[in-house]
Structure formats: C-alpha cells, structure tokens
Amino acid sequence: MTNLTILIIGALLSISILYLVRKGKMHGPYATWWLMVAVSAILLSVFPKVVDWVALKLGVTYPPTLILVLAISMILVRMLTMDMALTQKERKIRRLTQKLAIIEDSLKEDK
C-alpha cells in the first residue's frame, strides 16, 4: 500500500506545483526542481523495483537506506543552493539601497 501513498503524494505535489506556477507564485528553476521531485515520486511508486535494482548494483544491502540517503542529500543540496540564492539577493538589496541613496541625493542636487 505504501506505493499507492507515494503515488498520491507525488500526484498531489505535481498538481500543487502546476497550480502555483499558473498563479505566478513559483517561477523558473524552483518550479522545475519541484516538478522533478514529484515526477520521481510517481515513477518510484509505479516502478518500486527500480530501487532494489539500483541498490543491488551499488552494493547497498538494504535498498530503503538508499532512498533515504539520496533524499537527504538532495534536501541538503537544495538548502545550500537556497542559502546561496539568499546571499545573492542580500547583496543585490545592499547594492540597490546604496545606489538609491546616492541617486536620491543627486536628484535633490539638481533641483
């Protein structure tokens, strides 16, 4: 029955993401990433044997650990890129604030 659960989660996730993109609440790379997550969930639920096969090839004795390790690594990678994106945003805000102050001053000067 777990396969069915995962299938439902994947399907709900896909629908939510497509809905968010339609409403303009998520864009570009983020939407693609999450859609990929949803699609992999669906694929795994339909073909659960894939995990066993990959685990066997990689020499992992207990296949579920493979999924967990992969999932956690992906989450960590995602969090890291999120913080990188935040840093970039922070830099842009700082630069913009400084520029705004300088330009505001030059506008006053012209009057």
Residues that bind another protein (CB under 8 A): 87, 90-91, 93-95, 97-102, 104-105
Min separation Cβ 94 and another protein, Å: 5
Tell me the C-alpha distance between 34 and 65, whole Å: 22
CB-nearer residue toward another protein: 25 or 99: 99
CB-nearer residue toward another protein: 52 or 90: 90
Report the run of H or E that residue 20 belongs to, with start and end.
helix 2-22
CB-nearer residue toward another protein: 76 or 93: 93
Min separation Cβ 7 and another protein, Å: 43
Cβ atoms < 10 Å from Cβ of 41: 19
